[in-house]
Every structure is written in structure tokens, then in C-alpha cells.
Amino acid sequence: MEAVTAVSGSPLSPPVVAPGLQSVVTTVDGKVTITAPCAGGGTMSLSPGQATSITFDGNGPFNAEFETVFIACRSRDVTLNGREHVTFSGTYDTFRPLAGSTMTREGVITFALNGVEGRRTFKCTLTFGPTPGNITASGTATWEYPIGTPISGMGCG
């Protein structure tokens, strides 16, 4: 598994994309990739997977996957490098996921904050319950800062 990175002031939130700069869309072998510059330099790209199928009326089954890649993506005092893989599956009713629908995120996030490198390793699943807002989180998430020194941090929930 390759490193993943996402930050905008914290190693969990997405980096801030540079305002006023244009994204670039490329297609290679039928795979679309959208690449945008990060606020402090570097790039962030998003590639939907081949198995993605979502109805546009907000009702029925859905399957989606995508990969986010960060290359020297800098926002504030944080620089990110790596990738994250996300999958969704289930059924929508008026754009709401129904009970049993899931979202899984997995990867290894590396980040440099003020010149010190840290890492978050995670494989987390969210399972949607029978009522809106009823979501169960499971899986594991570990943090190191600096790398090699375990610290407590946000889990999968």
C-alpha cells in the first residue's frame, strides 16, 4: 500500500486547492483524472475507478470508488504525499444511503508538519443504519509523530 495524504491545517482534512487556478482533466485508457494545484504548491488529483456506477436521480443501487493522490501538496504548514483509496456501495433513496450501505477508506497518510514527518495508517468502514444519522464506524487507525513514535489521534469514527 502506498502513502496517502490529506490536510488543510490538520492531517485529516483535504488540502486547500489554490484559488483561481484551473484544474486539468486527463483521460488515459478510459480513466479520467482531475488534477488541481494545491494552495502552497504541488498537486492533488482524483481518479474515479472503473467500477463506479451511480444513478443520477438519487434512487437505486450505487457502487463507487476513487483514488486521491497528493504530490508535494502544501497547505499552510503541512506538506502531503501519497494516496488514499475510497469505496462506496449500497442503495440510495432520494440521495440518502439506506441501511447496509457502506463507505470504506484505507491507506497510509504521510505528512510533514513544520519539517517533522508523521504518518496515519488506517482501514475504516462506515455502515449506514436504518435511520438518517445512524452510522456505525469500525476498523483501525494508528498515528505516529514523528514516524516511529505512536501518539493518540482520531480513530475511524
pLDDT in tens, the chain (157 residues): 233 333 333 333 444 455 555 677 777 776 788 999 999 999 999 888 766 676 667 788 888 888 888 899 998 889 988 888 889 888 888 777 888 899 999 988 789 988 899 998 889 999 998 888 899 999 999 999 999 999 998 899 7
**Which residues, in sequence order, are bridge partners of residue 78?**
75, 113
- Does residue 98 form part of some domain? yes
Positive or negative: CA dihedral 107, 109, 81, 52: positive
pLDDT of amino acid 109? 79
- Does residue 60 form part of some domain? yes
- Does residue 21 form part of some domain? yes
pLDDT of amino acid 91? 86
- Does residue 157 form part of some domain? no
pLDDT of amino acid 12? 37
DSSP 3-state assignment of 121? strand
pLDDT of amino acid 51? 64
What is the Rg, in whole angstroms, of the alpha carbon atoms belonging to the chain? 17
- Does residue 96 form part of some domain? yes
- Does residue 54 form part of some domain? yes
- Does residue 156 form part of some domain? no
Asked if 138 and 120 count as a contact pair (C-beta separation under 8 A), the reply is no
What residue has cell string 499552510? 76
Asked if 141 and 156 count as a contact pair (C-beta separation under 8 A), the reply is yes
* CA dist., res. 72 & res. 40, Å (int): 9
Q: How many CB atoms lie within 10 A of CB 142?
A: 14
* CA dist., res. 123 & res. 140, Å (int): 6
Note down the domain range covering 128: 3-151
CB hemisphere CA count around 156 (13 angstroms): 19
Overall number of domains in the chain: 1
